[in-house]
Every structure is written in structure tokens, then in C-alpha cells.
Structure 1
Amino acid sequence: MNKLGGSSVNKMDRKTIERNRRILMKDLCFKLTSLIPPQHSKAAKEHLSQLDLFDQAASYIKQLRERIEELKKRKSLLALSTADETNNSIKNSVIGLKLPILRFRELGCSFEVVLISGHKKKFMLYQVISILEGGGAEVVTANLSNIGDNVFLTLHAKVKVSRVGVDTSGVFQRLEALIS
């Protein structure tokens, strides 16, 4: 009796488990078909078999992957063309200017130094930093770029000791002497 009652319970459990699995699969298939846009469907979704719906979903996923690859290629091409345009605009803006160029801008207790030099007059980064530090400043960031024959150097510095300050006129004069 115990064995018969136990096996009938197992059959009921299996039926319940299978019914729940089918309900879950039907729900998942419904969710999948709801994600496929109507313009991608070849026929009304209600009249397609599950296999046809899966084929449509796979086709749509393949189409999305191809679109992603196409957009990645376009993005990289745009990034390259934008970089070229930026380089050309910088070159064009420097053409006609007398090099080297020194721009010194105070920003409260910090300041910015921008140096642009051509191929005729070159300076070394360590020389510029030592002039700034000799004047009482501490270099926070330095950015050095070469575009064509031109060297672009941008430095941000701050006052080392706020009570003493920075001899900005002396620093400016020493930088001018370096680049001239």
C-alpha cells in the first residue's frame, strides 16, 4: 500500500513539474516574440509555429549584431576623421603665427603656461619645469604634444608656499629667454 501511494504521488509531482515547465516555456516564448519588432516579422505572430518564431528571433539577433558591427566601424572612422580634422585645424591655426609662442595665465593661486614652438627653436620639458620650480611653483600637470613640426606644451602649476607666492614676472622673463 505504501509503495502504491508513493508512486502515485511521484506521478502527480512529475505532472505538476511538467505542467509548470510548459507554462514557463510558453511565457518565455511569449516574451521572446514580444521583443521582435513588428516590421521584422514576416507574418502575423499569432499564426506562426514556435519554430518559426525562434527562426525570426535568431534572424533578428543576427541582424542586430551586423548593425552593431557596422556602427562600430562607422564610429572608428568618425573618430579618425575627427582627429585628422583637429590636427589640421591646429596646424592651420599655427600657420601664420610667429613661433615660438608663450602664454602665461594666472588663475588665483595657480597658473597655466602654454608654449608652442616650431622646428627652428626647441626647448626641453625639464628646462621649463626647473624655471617654474625655481620661481616658487609646483607643476601639477604637464601635457606635451607633437603635431607636425610643432611642439605644444601646456603646464598647470600651483604656488608651493602660499605665504611666499610665485615671482610670476621673473618666471615669465626666464621662460621668454628660454624660448627666444
Structure 2
Amino acid sequence: MLEKISIMLRLVAPKKGDSQKDIDNYKKLSGEAGELITQGYLDLWKTKYFCIEQEYVIKPEWLNDGTRPDFIAFTSDPTEVILIDAKNHIPKDNKFFIGNKRLNEYQNLISKLSTNGRKAYLLFIMPIGGNSINYFYCYTLQDFLSGQDSNDRSGKEVTLSDPINAYDMPNEE
């Protein structure tokens, strides 16, 4: 866990006047930190999962619709999978935002995977970071789809709930 805290502490948010390159670099490092922390949670919970490479140019056919999750997790039910998108965003006005384009892409992916008796779900896991690295927010795709329309952007928002302590989650053996 110390490695994860170290990564979070190295992130310095861009300031007004920073170059687009600095802003893009921060977003990339921030996303990688969120994925690493989420992977630590999945390991802690003894979850069976695959990481999905984000930079690889070739994608499987079922991911060619645009977005791709960071992880595919498996449950004790062999007919279901849980797609996990790790987010490492600073909430604005106590809300998290996902754009309509991304929500539509995920809806299409879930529909495509939920056929022939299979079930697919999507979770957004959002580590808090800093001294609260063991805490995270977790929302489903449905939470966002039924969330509020954003006033200033094209998408949906969810209001923050109480964070979850990663160590309070049950382990699946």
C-alpha cells in the first residue's frame, strides 16, 4: 500500500497557465494511479480478474465500440462478469461526472455482453487517495444513468455518498 500512497502524493494537479502537455500528463498519471489503487483493492479482496491494457492498439472485437474498462472481474456465478472502470477524479461540487458519450459506449458494451443467459455489470471505483487511500467511492452504470443531468456539461452526475473502507469488504475465497 505504501507504493500506492507514494504515487498519489507525487501527483500535482496542473495550475492555471500550465501547458496542455502538462495537463495531459497529469491526467495520464492520475488515471494510472487510480488503476493501481483499484488493483490493490481487488487483490486485497482476493478477486479473480484480468487487467485490460489501455495503451494497446489492437482491441478484441467486443471492445471495438469505443471505451474499455480497466478490469474484468469474475464472480462465483460462471454466467456473470463485472467490468470495472477505475476513476481518479477530484469531485466537483461534491459530485462525480461521466459524459454521455462514455455512458452510451458502456451501455452498448454491457448490452453486447449480456446475451445468451450471460450477465454483465459495470462498476466505477473511485479511490479517494492521500491519507484516505483505503477509502473509495463505488457506483454502478445504472447509478449514473439515473443520476442528475449536468448543468454545465453533456452527461450525468452522481452526488457523493459515504466512502467505503476497502478493508471492510468481504473476501471471496
TM over 0.5: no
Greater CA radius of gyration, 1 or 2?
Answer: 1
Is the strand fraction higher in 1 or 2? Answer: 2
* TM score, norm. by length of structure 2: 0.24
Is the helix fraction higher in 1 or 2? Answer: 1
* TM score, norm. by length of structure 1: 0.23
